[in-house]
């Protein structure tokens, strides 16, 4: 699971660097599993543990506010540069923005930035690169 935590979207907003902690009581006596969700992208939560965490009242509130976002972890298949059938320049703006926000590949983002001419798309790429490199994405 990919869980993105944005504490600035909480009510009231929190600082940029905040960590949420969750404890899951195990099946055996005395066994507790702890999870820390840091600001930005968190990839270390299994689907079964997420099912338990999302039942907590605080998590429901954060999901409603948009401070927590959950995505399934997907396998990325890369295509050699010579075989690419089209980049962002062939996509409508809305679709291109969605593609930018859905990628974690810095090299691909830089390649798109080099090939792209639309200012709005270039700004979105720069924002996404900054979010990934500074831990906010």
3-state secondary structure of 18: coil
Split at pLDDT 50, 70, 90, the class of 28 is: confident
- Span 77-116, pLDDT tens digits: 665 544 344 578 888 888 888 899 888 889 999 999 988 8
Peptide bond before residue 12 is cis, with ω within 30 degrees of 0: yes
Count of C-beta atoms within a 10 Å radius of residue 47: 10
Does the predicted TM-score (pTM) go above 0.75? no
Task: Give the residue carrying structure tokens 């089209």.
Answer: 86
């Amino acid at each position: 699971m990919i869980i993105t935590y944005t504490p600035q979207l909480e009510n009231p907003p929190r600082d940029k660097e905040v960590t949420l902690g969750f404890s899951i009581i195990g099946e055996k006596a005395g066994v507790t599993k702890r999870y820390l969700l840091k600001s930005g992208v968190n990839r270390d939560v299994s689907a079964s543990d997420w099912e338990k965490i999302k039942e907590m009242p605080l998590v429901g509130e954060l999901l409603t506010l948009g401070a927590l976002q959950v995505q399934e972890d997907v396998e990325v298949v890369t295509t050699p540069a010579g075989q690419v059938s089209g980049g962002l320049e062939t996509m409508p703006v809305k679709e291109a923005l969605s593609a930018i926000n859905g990628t974690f590949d810095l090299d691909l983002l830089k390649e798109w930035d080099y090939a792209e001419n639309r200012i709005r798309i270039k700004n979105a790429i720069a924002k996404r690169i900054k979010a990934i490199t500074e831990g906010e994405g």
